[in-house]
Amino acid sequence: MLKVNKFTLEPFGMTIGGDKMTLIAGPCSIEGWEMCDEVAGELVRICKKLDINYIFKGSFDKANRSNLHAGRGVGMEKGLKILSDIKEKYGVPVTTDVHETYQCPTVAEVCDMLQIPAYLCRQTDLILASAATGKAVNIKKGQFMAPWNMDNVIEKMLSKNNHKIILCERGTTFGYNRLVVDMQGLLDMRKLGYPVFLDATHSVQQPGSGREFTSGNREFAPYMMNAGLAVGVDGIFAEIHPDPDHAVSDGPSQLKLSSAEAILTAAKQYDDVTRRLDIQ
């Protein structure tokens, strides 16, 4: 496989871009402790069984919403408390989105990785503020960007001497209300020298197709996941919820928690074959 600048999440000793598949997963929006605890507990169990690195993800604020009245989450203070409790209880790294520069230092006190939403991946000040925390940063590639243009984002990170970079594909705009994933683009992005993840659930969104909300096709997400792993991505991002049809946000594209073990078992088999064959 194409070699990348791997890095380690401390104090967990978790290598990103190494010889093991990594999963970043959790609910789209943090809706409360009980739901996050349920998701984290089950995914920790599954990933331990399958020997997959696991990072819990939950957003305290979904600022990029189609509708003014759409649910946005529990807010930064409560959300960070829940993330801190998840990390303490399960001993796993945690991550969340940042939308404003002022959020970065506070989020970095709790989270082991910051996440840049796709719409904001060209926001220079936000990238620089995230990089300056010294934490790992998962940067979603904008739906409007070519994979090779992520080199400019990398340059911004490196200007703060932060090499802990993940580039995350989440689909590219293909006409109205449709996203596609360019599998060649995954390799193009990996040639930039940093770990590449595939966001399997946002990639099957149908932005704005519900008029007042973003719809999606969750049934296609496992196929997207397997295809990315067959190409040779370093990890998978997925949003997983106990009852996605009643989720605060991104319900149509989130995977059902009850299906997670079967989906991840298949995904791990694809990852194992790719690594064993070393096809790149």
Tell me the pLDDT tens digit for each residue of 29-49: 999 999 999 999 999 999 999
In a domain, 13, yes or no: no
C-alpha–C-alpha distance, residues 227 and 36, integer Å = 28
pLDDT given for residue 14 in this prediction: 97
Total domains present in the chain: 1
Assign residue 205 the CATH number of its domain. Answer: 3.20.20.70
Name, in order, each residue with C-beta under 8 angstroms of 161's C-beta and a sequence gap of 6 or more.
none
Contact 61, 73 (CB under 8 A): yes
Residue 160 lies in a domain: yes
pLDDT in tens, 59-94: 998 666 555 455 567 899 999 999 999 999 999 999
pLDDT of residue 2: 72
What DSSP string describes 100-126?
STTHHHHHHTT-SEEEE-GGGTT-HHH
Amino acid 66: pLDDT: 52
* pLDDT tier at 211, thresholds 50, 70, 90: low
> Residues 103-145: pLDDT tens digits?
999 999 999 999 999 999 999 999 999 999 999 999 999 999 9
Instruction: Report how far residue 102's alpha carbon sits from residue 113's, in angstroms, rounded to the nearest whole number.
Output: 16
The answer to the question of residue 3 being in a domain is: no
Q: What is the mean pLDDT of the chain?
A: 91
Distance CA 146, CA 177 (A): 19
147 is in which domain, residue-wise?
18-277
Determine, yes or no, domain membership for 190: yes
Give CA–CA dist 124/141, Å, rounded: 14
Q: Is residue 158 part of a domain?
A: yes
Evaluate whether residue 206 is within a structural domain.
yes
